[in-house]
Amino acid sequence: MSERVPFVVVGGGVMGLATAWALTRRGERPLVLEQFARGHTHGASHGATRNFNNAYADEHYLDLLALARDGWDALGAPGGEPVLRLHGLVSHGDGAALGGTGAGLIEIHDQLRHRGIPAELLDGAEPSRRWPGMRFEDTALFSADAGVARASAALQQMERRIVEGDGEVRWQTPVLRFEQHADGVIVHTPAGTVLADIVIVTVGAWTSSVLDGIPLPRLRVTEESPAHFTPRDPAHAWPSFNHFVAPGSWPANVYGMPTPGEGVKVGFHSVGDVVDPDARPFRMDKHAEALARYVREWMPGLDADTASPISCTYTSTPDEAFVLDRVGRIVVGAGFSGQGFKFAPGVGTVLAGLALDPDARAAQAFRLR
């Protein structure tokens, strides 16, 4: 089998689907090739929810977040419920947040307010009054314009939009290799070859092996083990949350969110062992005791003995900045460092722009260097 198409997207996780959807919205008919079956758990896009965390101060992340928010809203309300559940995000602690500047709560608050994004600083007993299941020692930052993305529902809706736009998603179709030539890129699959004008690669943990020869930053693939915990009082409201911990007090910053039917997800950010994505051990006990101790100390509204662990992967760059760039006829989306899902529609918009226009550029922080 041999065919020619304008755009091939390699990788059918959230970034690949978001990119293909962005291309269909511009009148293109992309072909998505994914090595695994629909709904697989080998990568980083599976599961019911992902944190829609807006606690950033860096301009490039806030710009990307604005693009993403437009995309999430455009996905509508599959099943009668919006893809974003905006139950709010509370951030606290005197450590540094994610993002290039490692900003604190005041700077994040000021940047969100400058952008017109709801943000309020809560002092004294107010945070504990609102969220009695959590403990706070200092000022907390709350944004009502945050919460969770319905991850699995979003993937389904993106695929549906791609197909409706005359694009195609081929599951269980691994890309064996590709060759870049002056007139296109030859993509080799077990079923035959596809000649594409442009190839967009969004393969997560497999990026380094698929893009051998392209000057990528070092990509570190780790297996992370957050867990769901059962609330003691089902009547208590739970926001999404960040705890920016003091260095050395806990293994890393803490994040989490409510997941209906599963409990409240709690995890340390980027503390897992380096793994080979093709030989992942699904080992979920490295920080289990520390996570249970954290829940006992900081989340008295959860039963720390009810941990239901989850295995997921991070593919991280040294500075945790994403890679959104183009080399010849290859567009790269990689290194989302455990914080990418919420940005997916924005990432897709940027990658589609890079694919359509060889002179387009992502923000400086996201370029290969």
Give pLDDT tens digits for 203-249.
Answer: 999 999 999 889 999 999 999 999 999 999 999 999 999 999 998 99
* Token digits of residue 256: 């989490």
∠ CA(98), CA(157), CA(51), 5° rounding?
20
pLDDT score recorded for residue 139: 93
Q: d(Cα 204, Cα 278) in Å, to the nearest integer? A: 12
Q: Is residue 188 included in any domain, yes or no? A: yes
Q: What is the pLDDT of residues 143-162, one digit of tens each?
A: 999 999 999 999 999 999 99
Q: Is residue 39 included in any domain, yes or no? A: yes
- CB contact at 8 A, 222 and 314: yes
Q: d(Cα 77, Cα 366) in Å, to the nearest integer? A: 31
Q: Is residue 133 included in any domain, yes or no? A: no
End-to-end CA distance of the chain: 37
Q: Is residue 132 included in any domain, yes or no? A: no
pLDDT score recorded for residue 98: 76
Task: Identify the domain containing residue 21 by its residue range.
Answer: 2-46+152-216+319-366
Mean pLDDT of 95-109: 85
Q: What is the mean pLDDT of the chain?
A: 95
Q: What is the DSSP string of 179-199?
A: EEETTEEEEEETTEEEEEEEE
Q: What is the pLDDT of residues 123-142, one digit of tens each?
A: 979 999 999 999 999 899 99
pLDDT score recorded for residue 284: 72
Q: Is residue 139 included in any domain, yes or no? A: no
pLDDT score recorded for residue 283: 79
pLDDT score recorded for residue 204: 97
Give the number of domains in the chain: 1
Confidence of residue 85 (pLDDT cuts 50, 70, 90): very high
Q: Give the CATH number of the domain where residue 30 resides.
A: 3.50.50.60
Q: Is residue 244 included in any domain, yes or no? A: no
Confidence of residue 201 (pLDDT cuts 50, 70, 90): very high
Provide Rg for the chain, Cα atoms.
Answer: 20
Q: Is residue 169 included in any domain, yes or no? A: yes
Q: Is residue 207 included in any domain, yes or no? A: yes
